[in-house]
Structure 1
Amino acid sequence: MENTANQYLTIAMDVGEKLLQYGAETNRTEDSIRRICIAYGATRVDVFSITVNIETTMHIGYDTYTQTRRIQNTTMDIDKLSALNELSRYICKNKPPLVVVEKRLNNIEEIQNYPYSLQVFAYALISGSFCVFFGGNFHDMIAAAIIGALLKPIESGIKKYSNNRIFIPLVWSLCGGLLNAFFLHIGIGDHYDLIAIGNIMILIPGTAFTNALRDLFIGDSITGVIHIVEAILVAISIALGFVCIHSFLL
């Protein structure tokens, strides 16, 4: 019985861990873990999660089981998040064998992201569009779009060596600032600030800040404050890189 209970809790924690990794809010993660454990026979479930940690205690009669997970390498993946939500509902409704849940979790993990070429195109489109939106001319748009396309492989290269959510935007923005200065030097683009705005919009943490406010409004104060601080630090890192290049090279 003890081994089986721990297996149920492990599966619930696996689902919760993936939810947090792919961008779910903490209250949804806690609710999913709680419902899965209750579906498999728990009489009480106490869950506490923040952006980087989940702690769950499951009670079955007078027996208590506890697990803790450290969350790393978080990202936003709507497709996997939707699949995980569907899996949670399936578990609660059908109470399938654990091997079935493990197989579906593996299938979710193998869901492919958008093709890399499409991601590069999206970076170029976002950069060029926002450059024009904020007042850039045709030359600025071309420069911003090309730099945006170049920043995607740079970002991918940085992530191979570090997953720090503050360090990556800082190095990324320094590279973006250098590319902006280079393009202005060779005569592609006219306004450093407008080109930079187009590039900055790629990584601006608008979603993170919005989620932080939502967390605060629904009572998850700790998570909300963490998200707000993180979003502010990311924004400062992005701006700092472009400002440093502009100050020293232009």
Structure 2
Amino acid sequence: MELEQDRELIDDVMKVCLLAGKLMLMSGAETYRVEDTMIRIAAAYGMDQSHSYVTPTGIIFSLEGLETTETKLIRIVERSTDLKQVTVVNSISRQISGGEMTVSQAYERLKEVEQKRQTFSLPIQTVAAAVIGGCFVIMFQGNWHDFIPAFLAGGVGFYSFMSIHKVIEIKFFAEFLASVFIGLLANVFVLTGIGQELDKIIIGSVMPLVPGLLITNAVRDLMAGHLVSGLSKGAEAFLTAFAIGSGIAVVFTIM
């Protein structure tokens, strides 16, 4: 009877830990943060013997009970940047560590977070990307005359990236085509006299596509000793940068 209760508790705790880790990893959290959160949740429920191994594409988690040990693996296919969701899961983790939630309550709360849409709608994201594109022109010492061209090119580029990515699941091609659209629009604006400095417009417009968080997490994971995650995230960031650069290079070749 005690063994069955132990197995049931281990199974429930593992569900909570894996779901929390999955939500954080899919939202762009660092590898070390995901592992630390899972171990802390397990320890809060009396499971001090826990082990987690996290990569950008999967999570392996193991819990040791009185007479049994269980190990589970989950696959991570989709990853995005949603720092709000990371913050929400971190908040739930702190409540668990403070003894404010039972295992069942924590699982239900995490399921609510998974089902609830945390990200902003596509129109809002597009407007934000457009504003970012225009502001980066000013940051790179451009003139205000190029703010509107960068605003429009950045918004169109980000919208096209999101739209193409829904059709073509390979992120590289979506980023490549989006950068092509940005390069074409920037050239059109300059040729028609709407824009002045082509380089500033292009640089500002592609900034919403630049993998800044990915690069930061890659360096952080490497410094923390997570070599597999650090190198894989670095490779992904390199491919993204290569896709953006290739798209702009193609435009310069044909224009």
**CA pair 146-40 structure 1, distance change in 2 beyond 3 A:** same
Deviates more, 1:181-190 or 1:21-30: 181-190
Alpha-carbon distance in 1 for matches of 2:88, 2:125 = 21
**CA pair 133-41 structure 1, distance change in 2 beyond 3 A:** closer
Alpha-carbon distance in 2 for matches of 1:212, 1:239 = 20
**CA pair 131-167 structure 1, distance change in 2 beyond 3 A:** same
Deviations 1:104-128 (A, max 9, x none): 1133231543354432332222111
Alpha-carbon distance in 2 for matches of 1:100, 1:162 = 38
Alpha-carbon distance in 1 for matches of 2:44, 2:168 = 39
Given the alignment, which residue of 175, 179, 195 partners 1:173? 179
Alpha-carbon distance in 2 for matches of 1:89, 1:182 = 52
Given the alignment, which residue of 235, 242, 245 partners 2:248? 242
Across the aligned residues of Structure 1 and Structure 2, the Cα RMSD in angstroms comes to 2.0
Q: Does residue 2 of structure 2 align to residue 18 of structure 1?
A: no
Alpha-carbon distance in 1 for matches of 2:193, 2:104 = 61
- In the alignment, structure 2 segments of 5+ residues that lack a partner are none
Contact 1:55 1:68 in 2 (8 A): yes
How many Å apart are 1:95 and its aligned residue?
6.6
How many Å apart are 1:58 and its aligned residue?
0.8
User: Taking structure 2 as the reference length, what is the TM-score of the superposition?
Assistant: 0.88
Q: Which amino acid aligns with 2:33?
A: R
Alpha-carbon distance in 1 for matches of 2:32, 2:21 = 11
Contact 1:41 1:60 in 2 (8 A): no
Q: Which amino acid aligns with 1:124?
A: A
- In the alignment, structure 1 segments of 5+ residues that lack a partner are none
Alpha-carbon distance in 2 for matches of 1:247, 1:141 = 25
Q: Which amino acid aligns with 1:89?
A: R
Contact 2:51 2:62 in 1 (8 A): yes
Deviations 1:36-56 (A, max 9, x none): 223333241111111111101
Contact 2:157 2:206 in 1 (8 A): no
Matches within 5 A, 1:38-53: 38-53=43-58
Contact 1:23 1:74 in 2 (8 A): yes
Deviates more, 1:27-36 or 1:174-183: 174-183
Alpha-carbon distance in 2 for matches of 1:195, 1:226 = 31
Alpha-carbon distance in 2 for matches of 1:112, 1:40 = 27
Deviates more, 1:5-14 or 1:187-196: 187-196
Given the alignment, which residue of 220, 226, 229 partners 2:226? 220
User: Taking structure 1 as the reference length, what is the TM-score of the superposition?
Assistant: 0.90
How many Å apart are 1:210 and its aligned residue?
1.9
Task: Tell me the SS of whatever aligns to 2:89.
Answer: helix
Given the alignment, which residue of 25, 28, 36 partners 1:31? 36
Identity %: 30
Contact 1:43 1:61 in 2 (8 A): no
Name the residue aligned to 1:78.
83
Task: Tell me the SS of whatever aligns to 2:171.
Answer: coil
**CA pair 112-207 structure 1, distance change in 2 beyond 3 A:** closer
Contact 2:82 2:118 in 1 (8 A): no
Alpha-carbon distance in 2 for matches of 1:94, 1:165 = 41
**CA pair 117-157 structure 1, distance change in 2 beyond 3 A:** closer
Contact 1:42 1:60 in 2 (8 A): yes
Q: Which amino acid aligns with 1:113?
A: T
Q: How many residues align?
A: 249
Given the alignment, which residue of 151, 156, 159 partners 1:153? 159
